[in-house]
Amino acid sequence: MKNMEKMLSHYSDISVCTGKSVSGCELFGKRLRLPPGEYRGEFFWGVFKDMETVCKGFKAAGVAAKIKKDDEKKKDLGLIFSEKPATVAAVFTRNKVQAAPVLLDKERIRSGMAQAVIANSGNANCCTGEQGMRDAVAMSDYVSSGLKLSQDSVLVASTGVIGKPLPIGKIESAMPKLIAALRSNGFSDFAEAVMTTDTFPKMISKQGKAGEKSFSMIGIAKGSGMIRPDMATMLC
């Protein structure tokens, strides 16, 4: 914490949250307002359980599916759901070794539309052959069935250990809990669910106006070192 404070000492309006000393934040975190000209707004990091981060028309969730053997209480299965079909774009790794979810999404994203993204951590479903592709499709089937969506409107992402079969049974068992957990301010739970070696969840929320219309943006990222070459296995 002290090293982080020193690193950010040249910024203005930094507040440190411990316990619940700052409204909407528990455990620990920081609120940072960068100087005008660099960035206008606020950046939050830490574990924010009660922060009202919402984006109209979208819901998210994150639950523990027991994919991670080191700590079965950690969230490791997440879902983002758009109430209406949404325009979608993606950047994929150019690595020759591509996981089943990457191959599946590259095909599905050609339509330019999607309505849900299911993601897991603890297992990358990479180098898993034909079974890996079947498991990726199964993950999307669970979502499309549970939310009454077309199968092709569901994208899949996996991150974690490479070369081991995805424990698809655990994911299937956790689906009712995951869908029931969907809520408008569930993005912090999703951010936790895609963590592997990350030391904290990464999320940013911004509001703005385009003409007379207001809008909200939420960004969630996973990973800190898995970005080379060309995004490598980065899930973002």
Q: In the chain, which residues have pLDDT < 70?
A: 1-53, 223-236
In a domain, 44, yes or no: yes
Q: What is the CATH number of the domain that holds 166?
A: 3.60.70.12
* Number of domains the chain contains: 2
Query: Is the same domain home to 174 and 102?
Result: yes
Q: Supply the DSSP symbol for 183.
A: B
In a domain, 230, yes or no: no
In a domain, 232, yes or no: no
* Whether the predicted model's global pTM rises above the 0.85 cut: no
Query: Which entry of 128, 159, 196, 233 is annotated as an active-site residue?
Result: 233
pLDDT of residue 231: 62
Query: Is the same domain home to 13 and 73?
Result: no
Residue type, 2: K
| Domain endpoint, select from 51, 66, 81 | 51
Q: Does residue 140 sit in helix, strand or coil? A: helix
Could you tell me the CA-to-CA distances from 71 to 49, 100, 119, 143 in Å, in that order?
19, 25, 18, 25
Query: Is the same domain home to 40 and 80?
Result: no
| Token representation of residue 17 | 């949250």
Query: Is the same domain home to 22 and 121?
Result: no
Query: Is the same domain home to 209 and 123?
Result: yes
In a domain, 234, yes or no: no
Q: What is the pLDDT of residues 134-166, one digit of tens each?
A: 999 999 999 999 999 999 999 999 999 999 999
Query: Is the same domain home to 2 and 12?
Result: yes
Would residue 18 show up in a list of annotated catalytic residues for this protein?
Answer: no
In a domain, 198, yes or no: yes
Q: What is the pLDDT of residues 76-106, one digit of tens each?
A: 999 999 999 999 999 888 888 899 999 999 9
Cβ–Cβ < 8 Å for 178, 145 = no
| Domain endpoint, select from 51, 70, 87 | 51
| Domain endpoint, select from 14, 31, 51 | 51
In a domain, 227, yes or no: no
Query: Is the same domain home to 83 and 197?
Result: yes
pLDDT of residue 232: 57
pLDDT of residue 212: 87
Query: Is the same domain home to 67 and 158?
Result: yes
pLDDT of residue 230: 64
pLDDT of residue 105: 96
Q: What domain range includes position 14?
A: 1-51
Query: Is the same domain home to 97 and 163?
Result: yes
In a domain, 231, yes or no: no
What's the CA gap between 55 and 8, in Å, rounded?
29
Query: Is the same domain home to 79 and 128?
Result: yes
In 3D space, the residue among 86, 75, 1, 40 whose CA is nearest the CA of residue 206 turns out to be 40
pLDDT of residue 96: 83
Query: Is the same domain home to 71 and 128?
Result: yes
Query: Is the same domain home to 21 and 93?
Result: no
pLDDT of residue 112: 95
